[in-house]
Amino acid sequence: MFSKRIETLRKVMAERGLDAVLLQGDVNRNYMSGFKGDESYSIITMDKAIFITDSRFTEQATQEVKDYEVREYQRPFEAFLDKIVKEFNIKKLGFEENVLTYELYNSYKEAVSCELIPLNGVIETLREIKCEKEIEIMRKAQNIADKGFEHILKFIKPGMTEREIGLELEFYMRKLGATGLSFPSIVASGVRSSLPHGMATEKVVENGDFLTLDFGVVYDGYCSDMTRTIVIGEPNEKMKEIYNVVLKAQEAALKAVKPGISCYDLDKIARDIITEAGYGEYFGHGLGHGVGRVVHELPMVNFRSKEILKPGMVITDEPGIYIPNFGGVRIEDIILVTEDGYEVFSKSPKELICLK
């Protein structure tokens, strides 16, 4: 798997006239190598792959990284990098422009005797299409999240705080095998549910509240992501109306997922339904995003993106309505684009759940 990724990268390097690529961001480096640690580097030339780490990770790298020569370096890294550049006669070295700080870039530029060329998202683009192994891992990651939702529905009671609910959800999912959260869980109730990224607070959950739960886990290096909005007690008519509009928009977009549709058009399907219902001004974010080794990655599914969906992409479908001083609703599934349509990873029910 990793040797195939390296060969794919080399084709792009050849097209761009690069002699080598330096990867030091944890996500891209590990995606290309299989390493599970951090604070390491990899350099890929047209005929050599070198994994570079220090004494803390040398043994681990030797065990996990099979398609690279593992080398141990002594600080400063800049001096070691310059030796590699000279050893392999590297004239143009691609780097992750979204990883290197301005300070570090200047340090490399001063110490390394080659031209530094920004990669412009090369690895991120490669990561868009998931292989079968990645897809299976992501199914398992989402299965943990679905089981977490099933558990938390039995746990939630009026009088609990949002923080209590979030902690219980995290603890339960970790017991199921999650190594962490995809992002800090969003647990927002009552009027706070109008906050699209409302983190859990000490607010008490009360009867008559919307409760939005947006969460996911990391499992074997890959993320899951889902959102469900429920009601504590009985919803009023406006709550039912808003929920049903969001559900209609979410399901319409879902049914349109297939190879060849643009991210812009997919977003428009859901956005038009919400706008026609009179709530367009309350849907301010994009319909979704790619998911993989991080919870937000390419492609971006929004009204600015003309990218075309392809088989193997994993995206979210998560329209919402957020009304200040009233509350909000978001419903989110995580979806695989297949050869002829889609597969929904998230299995949790989407009809309005009222906890009494």
Structure confidence by residue, pLDDT tens digits, 147-176: 999 999 999 999 999 999 999 999 999 999
Say if residue 263 is in the same domain as residue 243: yes
pLDDT at position 115: 97
**How big is the chain, counted in residues?**
356
Tell me: do 117 and 146 sit in the same domain. Answer: no
Span 49-71, pLDDT tens digits = 999 999 999 999 999 999 999 99
CATH number at residue 302: 3.90.230.10
Q: Residue 356 has what pLDDT? A: 86
* Domain identity same for 235 and 317: yes
Burial class of residue 71 in the structure, from the number of CB atoms within 10 Å of its CB (0-12 exposed, 13-18 middle, 19+ buried):
middle
Containing structural domain, residue 73: 2-126
Dihedral (C-alpha) 188, 27, 34, 171: value to the nearest 10 degrees? -20
Please tell me the distance from the alpha carbon of residue 83 to that of residue 291, in angstroms, as a whole number: 37
pLDDT interval class at 75 (50, 70, 90):
confident
Summary mean pLDDT of the chain: 97
Q: Specify whether 321 is located in the same domain as 174.
A: yes
- Residue 275 banded pLDDT, cuts 50, 70, 90: very high
* Token pair recorded at residue 108: 């490399």
**What is the CATH classification number for the domain harbouring 27?**
3.40.350.10
Residues 200 and 156 in one domain: yes
Is the same domain home to 185 and 321?
yes
pLDDT at 74 over 90: no
Based on the domain organization, do 122 and 149 belong to the same domain?
Answer: no
Residue 206 and residue 90 share a domain: no
Pairing relationship of beta strands 92-95 and 69-72 according to DSSP bridges: unpaired
Q: What is the pLDDT of residue 209?
A: 98
pLDDT of residue 1 exceeding 90: no
Of the residues 100, 126, 152, which one is the last residue of a structural domain? Answer: 126
Q: Where a domain ends, among 74, 106, 126?
A: 126
Q: Number of folded domains in the chain?
A: 2
Tokens standing for 103? 């300070």
225 and 316 belong to one structural domain: yes
Q: Write the pLDDT tens digit of every residue in 5-19.
A: 999 999 999 999 999
Contact 285, 196 (CB under 8 A): yes
Domain end, chosen from 126, 153, 183, is at: 126
Asked whether 290 and 309 are in contact (CB, 8 A), the reply is no
Within this chain, do residues 143 and 75 fall inside the same structural domain, yes or no? no
166 with 287, same domain: the answer is: yes
Residue 135 Rama label (left phi>0; alpha psi -120 to 50; beta): alpha
Give the model's pLDDT for residue 23: 98
Asked whether residue 69 falls in the same domain as residue 180, the answer is no
* Cis amide bond preceding 235, omega within 30: no
Give the per-residue pLDDT at 35: 97
